[in-house]
A and B are shown apart, each in its own frame.
Chain A
Amino acid sequence: MRYIISISFLFYLLASVPVLASVNVEEVRVSNGVKAWMIQDSSLPIVAIKVAFLNSGSAYDPEGKEGLANIAVHMMDEGAGDLSGIALKNILEEKAISFYVTSDEDNVYIHMKTLKEHLGEAFNILRLVLTEPNFAEADFKRVREQISLSIEKRKESPDFIANQRWNQIAYGSHPYARDNMGSRESLLSISKDDLIDYMYSNFAKDNLVISAVGDISQKELASYLDSAFDSLTKKQSVRQSILAELKVLRPADKQPVVIPFDISQSIAIFGFKGLKRNDPYFYPAYLMNHILGNGGFDSRLMNEVREKRGLAYSVYSYMATFQYGGVIKGYVATENHRIKKSIDIIKKEIKKIQNKAITQRELDDAKNYLVGSFPLRLDNNASLANFLLFMQIEELGMDFLEERNNLINAVTLKQVNAISEKLLHIDNMITVVVGSWPGQE
Chain B
Amino acid sequence: MRHHVVTCIFKIYTLCVLLAVSSWGAHADTPKENFFTLDNGLSVLVIQNHKVPAVSHTIWYRVGGIDEPEGKSGIAHFLEHLMFKGTDTIASGQFSKIVTKNGGNDNAFTSYDYTAYYQKIASDKLELVMKMEADRMVNLTLDTRDVITERDVVLEERRTRIDRHPRNILLEQMRASLFLNHPYRRPLIGWENDIKELDKQDALDFYQKHYAPNNAILIVSGDVSVSHVKALAEKYYGVIPKMDLQPRVFPTEPIHKVPRRLVYEDDKVRKPELIKFYLAPSMNYGEHKHVYALELLSRILGGSQTSRLYRDLVIDKGLAANVETGYNGVAVGPGVFSLYILPSEGIAVETVELEFKRVVEEMIKNGIDQDEIRRSKNVLKSEAIYAKDGLQGIAHIYGSVLVKGLSIDYVDRWEENIESVTEEDLIRAAQHVIQEDNSSVTGILRSPKT
Q: Which residues of A contact B (CB under 8 A)?
A: 19-21, 41, 43-46, 74, 85-86, 89-90, 93-96, 98, 100, 113, 115, 139, 142, 145-150, 152-156, 158, 261-265, 267, 295-298, 306-314, 333-335, 365, 368-369, 371-373, 375-376, 378-382
Our pick among B151, B160, B165, B382 for the contact of A96 (Cβ within 8 Å) is B382
Bound Cα distance A295, B270 (Å): 31
> Which residues of B, 374-396, contact A by the 8 Å Cβ criterion?
374-376, 378-379, 381-382, 385-386, 388-391, 393
A113 partner residues in chain B, CB cutoff 8 A: 386
Our pick among A145, A158, A309, A373 for the contact of B344 (Cβ within 8 Å) is A145
> Which residues of B, 18-53, contact A by the 8 Å Cβ criterion?
50-53
B314 partner residues in chain A, CB cutoff 8 A: 142, 146
Task: Please name the residue on chain B nearest to A306 by beta carbon.
Answer: B153
Bound Cα distance A334, B159 (Å): 9
5 contacts between A and B (CB under 8 A): A44-B385, A85-B315, A93-B376, A309-B152, A365-B101
Apart from A310-B149, A373-B105, A379-B391: 17 A-B pairs, beta carbons within 8 A: A86-B315, A93-B304, A145-B345, A152-B270, A265-B163, A295-B1, A296-B1, A311-B156, A313-B157, A313-B160, A333-B159, A335-B155, A369-B103, A372-B122, A373-B104, A378-B52, A379-B54
Bound Cα distance A19, B389 (Å): 19
Bound Cα distance A371, B101 (Å): 10
Task: Please name the residue on chain B nearest to A41 by beta carbon.
Answer: B51
- Binary interface profile of B, 134-167, with partner A (CB < 8 Å = 1, else 0)? 0000000000000011111111110110011110
B101 partner residues in chain A, CB cutoff 8 A: 298, 365, 368-369
B148 partner residues in chain A, CB cutoff 8 A: 310
B150 partner residues in chain A, CB cutoff 8 A: 310
Q: B102 on the interface (CB 8 Å rule)?
A: yes
Bound Cα distance A312, B305 (Å): 38
Task: Please name the residue on chain B nearest to A2 by beta carbon.
Answer: B14
The 3 closest A-B pairs by CB, nearest first: A372-B103, A96-B382, A310-B152
Known contacts: A295-B1, A296-B96. The answer to whether A265 contacts B164 by CB under 8 A is: yes
Instruction: Determine whether the beta carbon of B311 is less than 8 Å from that of A335.
Output: no
Report the minimum CB–CB distance from A308 to chain B (whole Å).
Answer: 7
Known contacts: A308-B149, A310-B153, A368-B102. The answer to whether A262 contacts B122 by CB under 8 A is: no
Q: B283 on the interface (CB 8 Å rule)?
A: no
Report the minimum CB–CB distance from B448 to chain A (whole Å).
Answer: 12
Bound Cα distance A150, B321 (Å): 9
Task: Please name the residue on chain B nearest to A43 by beta carbon.
Answer: B51
Known contacts: A19-B53, A89-B305, A156-B268. The answer to whether A145 contacts B389 by CB under 8 A is: no
Chain B contributes a number of interface residues (CB within 8 A of A) equal to 69
Q: Which residues of B contact A (CB under 8 A)?
A: 1, 11-13, 50-54, 84, 93, 96-97, 100-105, 120-122, 148-157, 159-160, 163-166, 267-271, 304-306, 311, 314-315, 318, 321-322, 342, 344-345, 374-376, 378-379, 381-382, 385-386, 388-391, 393
Bound Cα distance A374, B387 (Å): 21
Most buried by A among B12, B103, B375: B103
Bound Cα distance A334, B163 (Å): 12
Report the minimum CB–CB distance from A363 to chain B (whole Å).
Answer: 12
Bound Cα distance A46, B12 (Å): 27
Our pick among A115, A149, A369 for the contact of B100 (Cβ within 8 Å) is A369
Instruction: Determine whether the beta carbon of A333 is less than 8 Å from that of B100.
Output: no
Our pick among B105, B152, B386 for the contact of A311 (Cβ within 8 Å) is B152
Known contacts: A142-B318, A376-B104. The answer to whether A93 contacts B378 by CB under 8 A is: yes
Task: Please name the residue on chain B nearest to A332 by beta carbon.
Answer: B156
B154 partner residues in chain A, CB cutoff 8 A: 313
B318 partner residues in chain A, CB cutoff 8 A: 142, 145
Our pick among B100, B156, B385 for the contact of A313 (Cβ within 8 Å) is B156
